[in-house]
Chain A
Amino acid sequence: MTKLLMPYLTGGVAPGWTAYLRAFEDAGADQIELGLPFSDPTVDGPTIQEASDAALTRGATPASILDDLAQARTSVPIIASTYANLALRKGFGEALTAAGVTGLIVPDLPLDEVDQLQVPGIAVSLLASPATPDDRLAEIGRRSQGFVYAVSIMGTTGERDRLAPSAATLAARLKQVTDLPVLIGFGISSPAQAAEAASVADGVIVGAAVMRRVLDGAGPTEVGAFVGSLRAALDVR
């Protein structure tokens, strides 16, 4: 089975930001995680914090980002990700649906709180952590929709020199409790790490490594080439 590639992009990070979505699609992304920036991103490390600040400083709002998205008409599935304070607002689900978003990730809304989301028709994917005990992991596997997000490491988002050993262990544990695709995310920084992660999981999510390039000024073509290199690494079998 081919491995899934889900690059992340902070919505509204730069003028014309939807061009990155098209570049990711052309480079072989299967899905794109679209961050709706929040003022206090407590699960994110410095890179995505900086990207969120940049988008908010530009005046991006969930509504403006979803408007831009609707106009961009990408065909790759878009999974929104944001924080509970935005995701729990009334009308959030309708706004996602209207913009064509199909999935949602809310990292500060764990299993016990996730029922509060009112997003009919949107697949809500849950995160699992290396610290999650077995019984809870099974429940996460049952309740998650679309895929399960395996958080590679006890930490925040951000690039790392190597893939944490905890990633493979968690992915293997998850594969025993769910038939959904298991995607490893947090810290995957290079094609080699992506390939390593995909050897135990169904795919990867790559955020900070993409956003650092965007923040450093790389345009859609250049960042698309990086996404393409991840694709190539996943496809070598």
Chain B
Amino acid sequence: MSSITAAATSAPGRFGERGYGGRYVPESLIPACQAVAEAFAEAWADPGFRGNLAALLSAYAGRPTPLTPALRLSAELGVTVLLKREDLTHTGSHKINNVLGQALLARRMGRTRLIAETGAGMHGVATATAGALLGLPVKVFMGERDIERQAHNVFRMRLLGAEVVSVTAGSRTLKDATSEAMRHWVTDADEAYYCVGSVIGPHPYPTMVREFQRVIGDEARRQCAADLPSAVPDYVVACVGGGSNAAGTFAGFVDTSAQLIGVEAAGGSGASHGAIGVLHGFRSLFLQDEHGQIQEAHSIAAGLDYPGVGPEHAYLRDLGRARYVTVADDEAIAAAVRLARAEGILPAIESAHALAWVLRAAGTSELPAGSTVLVTLSGRGDKDITTLIEEAQL
């Protein structure tokens, strides 16, 4: 845990005493990061920018998303399950919330093209979509292995006019796609805007992406206040890859009594099993060996196949404000099938991790009978049909 030296905690973009976050980038990217930080601070304080974003989120992306009571599942489990339906947004996942914000910011900054990394392809599709909408060319970096297992999304990106660059280094998944996007960003830092897909990366990305995703938690908070006698659920659960849908969901409830649960893939459990380290521009918790080499993650969910976790999650974990648990591949597949059959909703395998924890914990001391639990369904499962055909054995 403490195999690494301490960081100053007063600097901007730091979370907590251990100094998670920061800006560990080559000197060549410092001006670009500073420009994004300044532009975001100005834009976020500008009612005009917020108004434009709110208008796009509703008229284009379909917000607010419903809070759906999972009636049959609730009856079976003995806990009240409410689903925050990010799967119903345009493009089919929460990634669009962040991308519309960043794409508007890129345009405001006068940037002429977008670059992005993607794992499951949902962030890539969302970025390709925003690029088409705003007339910005898009280049998406994606691991070769993810290109194979998320072929459907690769085609969607190309259909939308984006260029998909196959990354063949290392584990050929999200970690390596992110490294390659950062390498490319250096070469085009004046013109291109790097649209990071989760609450990771150098400052200001972890904070900015959380702010763009907090619409999930803010809406859910209002919806819970209207729908629930207790106004606040007892548990708030979301899956964690880099941690953006969880960060956005938690942001709406961090000041309540709700217990916050982040669900990681068993093979990509940075928050649960990582040690403090630095990668991709930020200090946080990463799976690594005893020498400090980053380990490859292994998850059936490409979007959770990342060895680290966003810095704010590391901080929430240290504080004890959020708890991080893991779910194995087969539990996630089973949860996806169960939700499809019980409620007629096919979740992304990423999102199914959050639900799988609820299925496992319901009725135990971890999630006692009679509790109310909000689960963020971060995306829909259409992209995962090929994986489900192979794995679900129906």
Query: Measuring CB to CB, which residues of chain A are less than 8 angstroms from any residue of chain B?
Result: 38-43, 45, 49, 53, 56, 61-63, 83-86, 88-90, 107-113, 115-118, 126-133, 136, 140, 151, 154-156
Contacts and interface: CB of A to CB of B under 8 A. Distances in A.
A116 B8 contact: yes
Given A49-B169, A116-B7, A154 B187 contact: yes
A189 B89 CA distance: 50
A43 B179 CA distance: 9
Given A39-B170, A40-B175, A42-B280, A127 B26 contact: yes
Interface residues of B, number: 40
A162 B154 CA distance: 36
Contacts of B3: 89-90
Given A38-B293, A40-B179, A113-B23, A131 B169 contact: no
Contacts of A83: 278
A56 B183 CA distance: 21
B394 interface: no
Contacts of A49: 169
B26 A90 contact: no
Given A39-B293, A40-B170, A113-B24, A154 B189 contact: yes
B28 A116 contact: no
B294 to A, nearest CB: 5
A112 B186 contact: no
B277 interface: yes
B26 A56 contact: no
B165 to A, nearest CB: 14
B183 A62 contact: no
A109 B286 CA distance: 18
A29 B295 CA distance: 35
A86 B292 contact: yes
B190 to A, nearest CB: 8
Contact of B183 (A39, A45, A84): A45
A62 B23 contact: no
Contacts of B22: 113
Nearest to A62: B291
A41 B6 CA distance: 22
B5 A90 contact: yes
B11 interface: yes
A155 B27 contact: no
B177 to A, nearest CB: 12
Contacts of A112: 11, 23, 30
8 contacts: A38-B292, A41-B179, A61-B291, A89-B3, A89-B4, A111-B27, A116-B5, A133-B31
Which of A40, A115, A130 has the most C-beta atoms of chain B within 10 angstroms of its own C-beta? Answer: A40
B28 A151 contact: yes
Contacts of A39: 170, 293-295
Nearest to A84: B278
B123 to A, nearest CB: 19
Contacts of B292: 38, 62, 85-86, 89
Contact of A90 (B4, B189, B278, B295): B4
A40 B294 contact: yes
A117 B4 CA distance: 10
Given A108-B24, A110-B25, A42 B30 contact: no
Contacts of B295: 39
Nearest to A126: B27
B277 A85 contact: yes
B30 A118 contact: no
B182 interface: yes
Given A42-B183, A155-B187, A85 B23 contact: no
